[in-house]
Structure 1
Amino acid sequence: MCLLIGPTGAGKTLLLKSLQAGNYHALKGWAPADLPATVPTTGTNLMTITVNKSRKKEVTVREVGGAMGPIWKNYYSDASAILYVIDVSNRCQVAAACIQLLTMLTHPQTADTPVLLLLNKQDLPCVMPQSEVEWLLRLQDTLGTASQAVNVVEVSAKTGQGLDIVARWIHDNHKDSPAQSHS
């Protein structure tokens, strides 16, 4: 199972629905009325996405609401890969997200779990430049000291930017559990 976490309002639910839609290039033409409706996740949300259409490889993603940050650690042991989403148009959130990110990266149960850091909402005019995000997150230090592999990608769940990279990363980094190995 792949775990999807991040602060409240980072765009996790729309990202998950956009990944489930699967045709990322078509998302670029979506009008605002065509976007799937989302509400803040309370609790968890399980969704299956197809990450390789030709081989029909499906992965279950568990989204855990941002307000549940204090108990994310209860879901680490079931995760074969972690997607961590940050809204990079919200300066206050980026600063707070750094603490949650460091807490997750230093947890013993995530030591060998690959992490994809998603810098979401690239479509907004107030998006922070990547250099500013890297500075606020102390990204170079964070990545240099993390025991697990951490990759970073700029995405927009709204337009589909970068979602093909996310799907490929999930495909390459998700490990099937013994019960799922029939896929």
Structure 2
Amino acid sequence: MFLIDWFWGVLSFLGLYNKNATLLFLGLDNAGKTTLLGVLKDGRLSAYRPTFHPTSEELSMGNIKFRTFDLGGHESARKIWKDYYASVDAIVYLVDSSNSDRFEESKRELDALLSSDELSNVPFLILGNKVDIPGTPSEEKFRAALGLQQTTGKGKVPLNGVRPIEVFMCSVVKKFGYAEGFRWISQYIN
């Protein structure tokens, strides 16, 4: 529970107090989207079935409100992702970094999102999940596999017309790495 309280405290400190934002949790199936949403919601790890229908949660702490959508990641679910682009403030894109066999497929989906005109100004937080699994590639190799060698930078960076996009390696199960990513993306949500 301490981690969740700290997470919301950071968001409040960074200026998201009294703000509302809509986040899409996207990525291939089995990347950890639903698990992350569950951890953010109540701080607990649970076993989840694959997401076959879009789910929405409102996460609140004090006056900070996030409306989140977990749209699923199996192939047929990806067809509806575009239906949610219009009102999104940020994309959280999860990748199972322990499954290099699916990096090419994940890159294709990410490239399609990044090339969408509707998302041209939307910040992207890329989470390389499951780094706790032995044999997971380094962040450098992960970035290379997804074509993300040039990103915004992990600090507060003046954008000058560039879309914010950054990679953070994490383990949702071990509860580390993603809070830093959310702290980073919070500075780009208006």
TM above 0.5: yes
Q: How far apart are the structure 2 equivalents of 1:147 and 1:37?
A: 38
Kept after mapping to 2: 8 A contact 1:2/1:174: no
Q: Which runs of 5+ in 2 are unaligned?
A: 1-21, 153-160
Q: Is the 8 A contact 2:38 2:45 kept in 1?
A: no
Partner residue, 2:157: none
Change (3 A) 1:104 1:74: same
Alignment partner of 1:16 is 2:23 = no
Matched residue of 2:166: which SS?
strand
Partner residue in 2 for 1:5: 26
CA contact (8 A) 1:19 1:163 kept: no
Taking only the aligned residue pairs, the percentage that are identical comes to 28
Q: 2:85 corresponds to which residue?
A: 76
RMSD: 2.1
> Deviation of residue 174 (structure 1)?
3.5
Question: TM-score by structure 1 length?
Answer: 0.79
Give unmatched runs, 5+ long, in structure 1.
Answer: 23-33, 176-183
Alpha-carbon separation, structure 2, partners of 1:43 and 1:93: 22
Structure with greater helix percent: 1
Deviations 1:31-77 (A, max 9, x none): xxx73121110121111224xx5x54121110110021122111111
**Counterpart in the other structure of 1:138:** 147
Q: How many residues align?
A: 159
Letter of the aligned partner of 1:7 in structure 2?
A: L
**Structure 1 residue ranges, 4+ long, deviating more than 4 angstroms after superposition:** none
Mapped partners of 1:126, 1:45: distance in 2: 32
Q: How far, CA to CA, are the matches of 1:166 and 1:152 in structure 2?
A: 8
- Aligned partner letter, 1:11: G
CA–CA distance in structure 1, aligned partners of residues 82 and 162 of structure 2: 17
- Structure with the bigger RCO (C-alpha within 8 Å, sep 6+) is 1
TM-score by length of 2: 0.76
